[in-house]
Amino acid sequence: MEHLRTEEAFRAQIAKGGMTIAVFKATWCKDCHFIEPFMPEVEQKYAGRVTFVEIDRDELPDLCLDLGIMGIPSFIAYVEGQEVVRFVSKLRKTRDEIEQFIDRALEVAAALPKA
């Protein structure tokens, strides 16, 4: 998962074609560390359909404030720069919950009108 360190890199990535899921984390977050062991397998499962990027909440606090990121880890799915769906809460996320979110994001994106 690519770690984006600037708002410009984030904006450029989400504007690309296809789906980008931004994962907002922090180094001090125990729940963020909880998901680390299985996220590479999740990324592999959705390879070719979803690009995953990581944003450290403490590196880009203004962006996170603008996006309403309160609890971490948080996930936001984007298609061509537009938010499709988000999974934001202060609770620990399981692999199953994350995969359900990704599946839902793909379903929503498929239902969007094509330009």
Q: What does the pLDDT look like over 35-82, one tens digit per residue?
A: 999 999 999 999 999 999 999 999 999 999 999 988 899 999 999 999
Domain count within the chain: 1
Q: Which domain holds residue 96?
A: 2-111
Percent of the chain with pLDDT over 70: 98
What is the chain's mean pLDDT, rounded? 93
CATH number of the domain encompassing residue 23:
3.40.30.10
Q: Among residues 21, 32, 35, 79, which one is catalytic?
A: 32
pLDDT at residue 114, as a whole number:
73
CA distance 58 to 34: 18
Q: Is 64 a catalytic residue?
A: no
Task: Please check whether residue 23 is in contact with residue 55, taking contact to mean a CB–CB distance below 8 angstroms.
Answer: yes
Task: Please check whether residue 73 is in contact with residue 29, taking contact to mean a CB–CB distance below 8 angstroms.
Answer: yes
Q: Among residues 1, 9, 26, 29, which one is catalytic?
A: 29
Q: pTM of the predicted model, to two decimals?
A: 0.93
Task: Please check whether residue 15 is in contact with residue 6, taking contact to mean a CB–CB distance below 8 angstroms.
Answer: no
